[in-house]
Amino acid sequence: MKILQNISLKPFNTFGMDVPAKYFAFFQTSDQLLEILSSDICASSDTLLLGGGSNLLFTKNINGIVLKDEIKGIELLQETDEHYFVKVGAGEVWHDFVMYCVQKGYAGLENLALIPGCVGASPMQNIGAYGVEIKDVFHSLEAMHIKDKSVNVFLNKDCEFGYRESVFKNKYKNQFAITSVTFKLQKKPSYNITYGAISKELENMGVKDLSLHAISQAVINIRQSKLPNPIEIGNAGSFFKNPEIDVKHFETIQHDYPSIIGYATGENRIKLAAGWLIEQCGWKGYREGDAGCYAKQALVLVNYGNAKGEDVLQLSEKIIASVEAKFGVRLEREVNIM
Ligand code: FAD
Ligand code: EPU
């Protein structure tokens, strides 16, 4: 186990921000993690756990220690009449794990294909896409407490999952290193193709018989058609969350903007498409230096090459202010600002 010094984080975040970390270490096992956390450097530094760096915006130098989770392994723990219980190392690449499940016939994750990042970060914001969130198939996770080094198991109910939320972003922020996640996957798939353009895409693909593979491919096709590939253009997916407002507020906006997009999420609550709000304010395709608002999806902020984290953050502030001025809706960031 080696603690490196003054390491550029540019290869470790999908925005491609070039900031140095004072200390940096990789770990492949829980024992290595324990060893690093027990070091004098960890005892006296702030700790940042890192997966694929696809939901982070670095705006300044990191003066603490960055720990890159590389714990691998996929294990079928248990099989019942209806379910497979699969335990996965936090450092496994999310999309590779989804495709592994598709190939094995473990159902439940196919709508979540092509989300960047690692398995360990998936519970952090309860990742979601195309009508599925990981809370729907999450069984439990194991995590080491960063300070007292205890090993803890969190069941689904302990994680307090919400839309892009969990306890790990809130009351337990920066307190745990997730080492594995166990999923409860179905033997008999219940295909979910009602959301967005999935059924249309399946039709375009000429699919007659639904399968896990066909659904994952439809999701991949849709995502590739609108989201920028971080290898080509720096980004962290949706920069903001889709906001919720009450029905009265929605109707007021709808009166002036009949094309507004909103979905009922509960009694008296409507979720708006933040991408639509941002587009209406004229930001879609906007570029200021190398920071911009993506031309095919206004919810995604991008780094065309040499933008600084601060440039993207400032652009996000201008967008928040203009959406609030026009619609009276305050956008919240989804991306973690460091
Ligand atoms: P990182 O960015 O490395 O970390 C994110 C947060 O989790 C940080 O706070 C970090 O400290 C913490 N963390 C990471 N690993 C651990 C660990 N082992 N233990 C404790 N804390 C940890 N998200 C969606 O929900 N749905 C989408 O459809 C989606 N689409 C995207 C599309 C693109 C093109 C991109 C670039 C991003 C997209 N995202 C999406 C966001 C992102 O991919 C997810 O949030 C993903 O889960 C982040 O994983 P990561 O490993 O890169 O996490
Ligand atoms: N829209 C616009 N203009 C835009 C972008 C979108 O009008 O510039 C409209 C679309 O036409 C559509 C609606 O907004 O009617 C929703 O758009 P889309 O289906 O692209 O999804 P989204 O709400 O923008 C959310 C998630 C994505 C997830 C997709 C698919 C959030 C913050 N984002 O995006 O997650 O992949 O749905 O389920 O909830 C992420 O979290 O990083 C992410 C990419």
The tens digit of pLDDT for each residue in 230-260 reads 999 999 999 999 999 999 999 999 999 999 9
Q: Is 312 helix (H, G, I), strand (E, B) or coil?
A: helix
β pairing state of 62-69 and 47-50: parallel
Q: Relative to the alpha carbon of 115, which ligand is closest?
A: 1
- Integer-rounded Cα radius of gyration of the chain: 21
User: Which pLDDT does position 74 carry in this prediction?
Assistant: 98
Total Cβ atoms within 10 A of residue 260: 18
Q: Is the pLDDT of residue 196 over 80?
A: no
CA distance 115 to 122: 10
Mean pLDDT of 315-319: 98
Give me ligand 1 centre to Cα 56, in Å.
7
* Spacing, Cα 178 to ligand 1 middle (Å): 13
- Residue 275 CA to ligand 2 center (angstroms) comes to 6
- Give the percent of the chain with pLDDT over 90: 98
Distance of CA 38 to the CA centre of its chain: 29
Distance 125 CA to ligand 1 centre (A): 8
Ligand nearest to C-alpha 54:
1
Fill in the amino acid letter for 137. V
Task: Quote the pLDDT of residue 146.
Answer: 97
pLDDT digits (tens, 9 = 90+) for 8-25: 999 999 999 999 999 999
Contact 280, 326 (CB under 8 A): yes
Which of 57, 115, 172, 220 is the best mutation target for the ligand 1 pocket, counting ligand atoms within 8 Å of the beta carbon and taking the most? 115
Q: What is the pLDDT of residue 82?
A: 97
Q: Is the pLDDT of residue 1 over 80?
A: no
Question: What are the tens digits of pLDDT across the range 105-146?
Answer: 999 999 999 999 999 999 999 999 999 999 999 999 999 999
Distance CA 297, CA 278 (A): 10
CB within 8 A of 200, min separation 6: which ones?
Answer: none
Q: In the prediction, which pLDDT does 201 show?
A: 97
Asked whether the predicted pLDDT for residue 79 surpasses 90, the reply is: yes
- Any atom of ligand 1 within 6 Å of the Cβ of 14: yes
Q: Is 140 in the pocket of ligand 1 (CB under 6 A)?
A: no
Could you give all domains of the chain from N- to C-terminal order, each with its CATH number? Answer: 4-69 (3.30.43.10), 74-186 (3.30.465.10), 234-337 (3.90.78.10)
pLDDT value of residue 266: 86
Spacing, Cα 276 to ligand 2 middle (Å): 9
- Listed in sequence order, the residues at least 6 apart from 282 whose beta carbon sits closer than 8 Å to its beta carbon are 322
Q: Which residue among 238, 259, 265 is best mutated to probe the pocket of ligand 2, counting the most ligand atoms within 8 A of its Cβ?
A: 238
> Which residue in 224, 237, 221 sits closest to 302, CA to CA?
237
Tally of CB atoms within 10 A around 227: 20
CA atoms within 13 A on the CB side of 130: 26
The span from the CA of 94 to the CA of 8, in Å, is: 24
- Extract the tokens encoding 207: 């699919």
Exposed, middle or buried by CB within 10 Å (0-12, 13-18, 19+), for 323? buried
CA gap 261, 298 in Å, rounded: 14
Report which protein residue has its CA nearest ligand 2's atom 34: 238
Q: Which of 299, 332, 333, 334 to mutate to test the pocket of ligand 2 (most atoms within 8 A of CB)?
A: 299
The per-residue pLDDT for 49 is: 97
